[in-house]
Chain A
């Protein structure tokens, strides 16, 4: 590129790179190396490590529980992602379509994202999903919808779905804001011009909105992938003391291997934990690369 740009690029990138190196490089390299060893605990001295090569990875992929956690993660990422993105996009489009009270709607939809997960989870568990006097049960009873009213939301068969619903609810607002800030940049004149030309709302969406929000869609996909991969607190809240088949995720498995189980003293291998970390990181990077490849940024003028 042009010479004058080079100086700018260096100046602009240096502070960020310095922070990155100071904070991340040592832990990342350490994690990478740990994944090839049996490590008694995360900060154990190197002399206590025993080399195992790729055994940690082999073990992980052969353990039923870890495979279950991967399967849970995949379903959260795919189904949760599709659900949340669609709803968030829908809301963002509606909000920017000229309705009144925009700020009110945005604020209310975003609010759950700010409330502590502990309170939200407790609310879902003890109020919404409760099988005796919970919100869903009483609502469906009042409406007379027997099958829905009889669902035991927290029993082993339904727990995963309930967890996904609860988590997705809180995430919609966050992703809606991101979509919204992408749509807001599209000048209103474009919509008005096309309305004058006789385009319907759906048509406007496909020809104007969609191409122009590909950028924020990418951002949303990346952010969703990262938060899915780090899915931990909600799992813990939905299954205290001991983990659940229905709610376990790779992060929970990592935690179990790194810190041991809840109350029993179990064998720990932080190397296994590190291996899980490596797998998760690879997943995120792959998603990033593929997304960038599939959704190209067009240099659009507006």
Chain B
């Protein structure tokens, strides 16, 4: 059985050029290509603007580069502040928080989506409500609570606090997101595992979690990017120069460039912030590609 499946995989992956198949797909290609071209134009404009001058941007000549490519926009953006420190901070916050989020949210989502118990719907609604409450209303009272405790002058405490906050703020999102991924898995897995003498907890970690892999990986990407780009929470709690994450650091540069009229520089800062998230997405998303051939229970 296994070898036949593997053989099928191999031939599929070898991408035999099947003309009839490709023709059927042309409308699909056309639609996607149209969208992609538009995306390239508009994002290309942002990129062009970052290498251009402010004057060119507002005369509609961002693509012309009549004075050449202005790399100094990037130099300025990078050197104006300790951008490398910000990157390290953001990396630290994002990776640890994302990891914690998966560890906390996946089990909870599993429990909530597959088991009926009294408080289930209530908890789910509570989580959704938490996401609906405006962030301003959550952050500022918390800040007021914490401000007086005088822990905000100690870097280590701030870092720990930030991890706690980033994780906590995203817990409802992560759980609600994962609900549907766990809900659709067949109950036969648990029954089979139960018969084999597997404890429910072990069943989850060894069997169910891997089955929800596309969802988990998508969620990790989203959480990482969310925390990387998170601005308001970081602005209020972590604006000291040593603990600042990239979003605050470069966003403040974006703001200051708007006020000094350095729009080209602003776009350069934006690209600097965008690149790592994009690189990360490229690195991670290849794992999202499904090769879930053979779900686990055959026929």
Contact = CB atoms under 8 A, between A and B. Distances in A.
Whether A and B are associated in the same complex: the answer reads yes
Interface of A: 1, 4-9, 11-13, 15-17, 19-20, 22-24, 26-28, 30-31, 42-43, 90-91, 94-95, 97-100, 102-103, 105-112, 114-116, 118-120, 122-124, 126-128, 130, 132-135, 172, 174, 177-178, 181-182, 184-185, 187-189, 201, 212, 215-216, 218-219, 222-223, 226, 229-230, 251, 254-255, 258, 273-274, 276-277, 280-285, 288-289, 297, 299-302
Binding site of A, secondary structure by majority: helix, strand, loop or mixed?
helix
Contacts of B184: 185, 212, 215, 297, 300
Which of B143, B171, B204, B229 has the most C-beta atoms of chain A within 10 angstroms of its own C-beta? B171
A201 B57 contact: no
B128 A187 contact: no
A43 B165 CA distance: 19
Nearest to A113: B225
Nearest to A289: B125
Contacts of B141: 26-27, 30, 42-43
A95 B25 CA distance: 10
Nearest to B288: A181
Q: What are the nearest 7 A-B pairs in CB distance?
A: A133-B60, A215-B180, A284-B132, A12-B107, A23-B168, A184-B290, A16-B108
Given A8-B200, A215-B184, A277-B134, 18 more contacts: A5-B115, A12-B204, A15-B103, A27-B138, A43-B140, A108-B39, A114-B277, A119-B254, A128-B42, A132-B60, A133-B59, A172-B35, A187-B295, A189-B293, A212-B184, A277-B137, A284-B128, A299-B186
B169 A254 contact: no
A123 B46 contact: yes
Contact of A297 (B29, B183, B274, B290): B183
B160 interface: no
Given A8-B201, A97-B28, A105-B36, A273 B137 contact: yes
B278 to A, nearest CB: 6
Interface in B85-138: 103-105, 107-108, 110-112, 115-117, 123-138
A119 B204 contact: no
A107 B285 contact: yes
A20 B36 contact: no
B188 interface: yes
Contacts of A222: 128, 176
Q: Of residues A94, A181, A218, which shows the largest number of chain B Cβ atoms within 10 Å of its Cβ?
A: A181
A223 to B, nearest CB: 7
12 contacts: A20-B126, A20-B127, A24-B168, A28-B129, A114-B229, A114-B281, A116-B270, A187-B292, A223-B177, A288-B125, A297-B183, A300-B186
A17 B134 CA distance: 20
A160 to B, nearest CB: 20
A107 B282 contact: yes
Nearest to B12: A188
B238 interface: no
Contact of B186 (A19, A273, A301): A301
Given A16-B104, A226-B131, A118 B168 contact: no
Given A98-B25, A128-B42, A258 B136 contact: yes
A13 B132 contact: no
B115 A301 contact: no
B286 interface: yes
B31 A285 contact: no
Nearest to A287: B128
B77 to A, nearest CB: 13
A251 B132 contact: no
Interface string B263-276: 10011001001100
Interface in B135-174: 135-145, 164-165, 167-169, 171-172
Contacts of A97: 25, 28
